[in-house]
């Protein structure tokens, strides 16, 4: 799901690891992502060092900057969020 830099703060999203798109304001062209708790658990085995790692999305590298808390649920289910300016 593509979201704005303030998306998580707007909904008071809990953070499991690290924080919301901190790179957006300092490096807006940097491709970054936030993982859902479920994706972090199922695909990355709850790797505590996932933040700072790079994952591939459609053949492009994305820096993982955090994992959203388990209790964060969206109306449209999502497992991964990237900022609008990463596309």
- Specify burial of residue 78 (Cβ count, 10 A radius: 0-12, 13-18, 19+): middle
- The answer to whether 84 touches 3, Cβ cutoff 8 Å, is yes
| Exposed e or buried b per residue across 20-57, where buried means at least 16 C-beta atoms within 10 angstroms of its C-beta | bbebbeeeeeebbbbbbbebbeeebeeeeebbeeebee
Question: pLDDT digit string (tens) for 26-66?
Answer: 544 568 889 999 999 999 999 998 988 899 998 999 988 88
- Domain-wise residue ranges, the chain: 2-86
The residue whose two tokens read 């479920």 is 38
Question: pLDDT digit string (tens) for 8-22?
Answer: 878 878 777 555 555
- The answer to whether 29 touches 61, Cβ cutoff 8 Å, is no
- Single pTM value for the model: 0.79
């Amino acid at each position: 799901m593509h979201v704005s830099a303030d998306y998580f703060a707007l909904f008071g999203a809990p953070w499991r690891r690290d924080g919301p798109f901190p790179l957006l304001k300092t490096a807006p062209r940097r491709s970054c992502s936030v993982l859902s708790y479920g994706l972090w658990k199922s695909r990355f085995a709850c790797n505590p060092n996932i933040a700072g790692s790079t994952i591939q999305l459609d053949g492009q590298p994305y820096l993982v900057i955090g994992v959203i808390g388990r209790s964060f649920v969206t109306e449209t289910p999502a497992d991964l969020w990237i900022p609008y300016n990463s596309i």
